[in-house]
């Protein structure tokens, strides 16, 4: 079972913000409503944050994957480099595909995948057939 959701912020920024909020006294937490706090997955689920970076200078796409359990505890992380540079949607979809393959290898069954690419998430969750390159990557 997998669920793909869109997160509007990057994995590292989300983690840093969550740590900063946890360290604030409770009275100060309410004064920073714009900060995103990492949310735990439901019981027995693993949360997989996926983020992709693009370097024109090196002609590479970097993929970062981070796994945490239902208590927010770190399970593992992985980075992957792809060449050549590609469109953002194709790179983000390739990151999702890499993450799905990795959690399958690790034999996790209940996973929530979080990406910051709304277009990829919407395409993945769509029931409309997509005959583009993006659609063929997401046809997992």
Q: Is 51 a domain residue?
A: yes
The C-alpha atoms of residue 136 and residue 107 are separated, in whole angstroms, by 24
Quickly count: other Cβ atoms within 10 Å of residue 14's Cβ: 22
Within a domain: residue 69?
Answer: yes
Residue 73 is part of a domain; what is its CATH number? Answer: 3.30.420.10
pLDDT band at 45 (very low <50, low <70, confident <90, very high): very high
Could you give the CA distance from residue 66 to residue 74 in angstroms, rounded to a whole number? Answer: 8
What domain range includes position 45? 2-19+35-138
Task: Calculate mean pLDDT across residues 73-93.
Answer: 93
* Contacts for 10-18: CB closer than 8 Å, 24+ residues apart: 10/51, 10/116, 11/49, 11/50, 11/51, 11/64, 11/66, 11/114, 11/116, 12/51, 12/64, 14/38, 14/49, 15/66
Segment 125-133 mean pLDDT? 71
Report the number of distinct structural domains present in the chain: 1
Model confidence at 34: pLDDT above 90: no
Asked if residue 105 belongs to a domain, the reply is yes
Task: Establish if 26 belongs to a structural domain.
Answer: no
Q: What is the pLDDT of residue 126?
A: 72
Q: Classify residue 27: in a domain, yes or no.
A: no
Q: Mean pLDDT over residues 126-135, rounded? A: 70
* CB-based contact 109:48 (threshold 8 Å): no
| Assigned domain for 28 exists | no
Phi, then psi, of 57 in degrees rounded to 5: -60, -40
Who has greater pLDDT, 19 or 110? 110
| Per-residue confidence (pLDDT) for residue 70, from 0 to 100 | 92
């Amino acid at each position: 079972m997998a669920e793909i959701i869109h997160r509007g912020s990057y994995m590292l920024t989300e983690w840093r913000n969550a740590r900063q909020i946890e360290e604030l006294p409770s009275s100060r937490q309410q004064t920073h409503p714009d900060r995103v706090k990492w949310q735990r997955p439901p019981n027995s689920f693993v949360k997989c944050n996926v983020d992709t970076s693009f370097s024109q200078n090196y002609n590479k796409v970097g993929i970062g994957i981070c796994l945490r359990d239902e208590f927010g505890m770190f399970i593992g992380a992985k980075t992957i480099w792809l060449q050549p540079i590609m469109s953002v949607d194709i790179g983000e979809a390739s990151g999702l595909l890499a993450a799905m393959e990795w959690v399958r290898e690790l034999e996790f069954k209940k996973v929530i995948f979080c990406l910051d690419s709304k277009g990829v998430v919407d395409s993945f969750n769509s029931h409309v057939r997509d005959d583009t390159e993006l659609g063929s990557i997401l046809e997992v």
